[in-house]
Amino acid sequence: MKVLFSAAVLVFFSTGGAIACPDFNASAGEAYRASGRELHETIAFNVRAGGNNYIWNCSNVKPGTDTGAGYFPTAPDFSFQLSGMGGYRLDLWVVSDCDSALLINTSSASWYYDDDDNGNLDPKIVLTRPVDGRIDVWIGTFDGTYCDAQLQLETFEK
């Protein structure tokens, strides 16, 4: 019995335990409510970009978009409860002092990831048919460093 317990402890510590990953069940750093109409002007939120969870080591995160590297925190940086999104597209982008990355989980449980589509090593994701409900947003970095950044959101009529 003592040998079996020792072997189990050795296996646990040699594998490093469970891997942390972005988790939409974790409490967001900041939470907001907004309508499509309210987001018709750019709204910006300051944030510290970065994290220590490498996206492609996370089996719970399956973005069907970009495939670049990215390191993100476990809890979302932001959670938005959206309403009145019919007739709008929603653009989310980051402006940062480093090579930032953007990860989104929508209310339909779809994951979106981007690294450089905003230019200047910054990400941008366009949700062409956003639905009412919650979206969670993580601001990470390409290489796991940390930097000052700003998340910006705006809706546009279709």
**Structural domain boundaries of the chain?**
31-157
Res. 155 pLDDT band, cuts 50 70 90:
very high
- Percent of the chain past pLDDT 90, that is, above it, reads 77
Model pLDDT, residue 6: 38
**CA dist., res. 145 & res. 126, Å (int):** 25
Q: Is the C-alpha dihedral spanning 18, 63, 23, 149 positive or negative?
A: positive
Model pLDDT, residue 19: 65
Distances (CA, A) of 83 to 38, 64, 88, 107: 10, 25, 11, 12
pLDDT at residue 16 greater than cutoff 60: no
Token pair recorded at residue 123: 């990400």
Token pair recorded at residue 90: 């929603």
Strand partners, 88: 157
- Per-residue pLDDT tens digits for 67-120: 778 999 999 999 999 999 999 999 999 999 999 999 999 998 899 999 999 999
What mean pLDDT comes out for the span 131-157?
Answer: 97
CATH topology of domain 31-157: Jelly Rolls (2.60.120)
Token pair recorded at residue 46: 């300051």
pTM, whole model, 2 decimals?
0.86
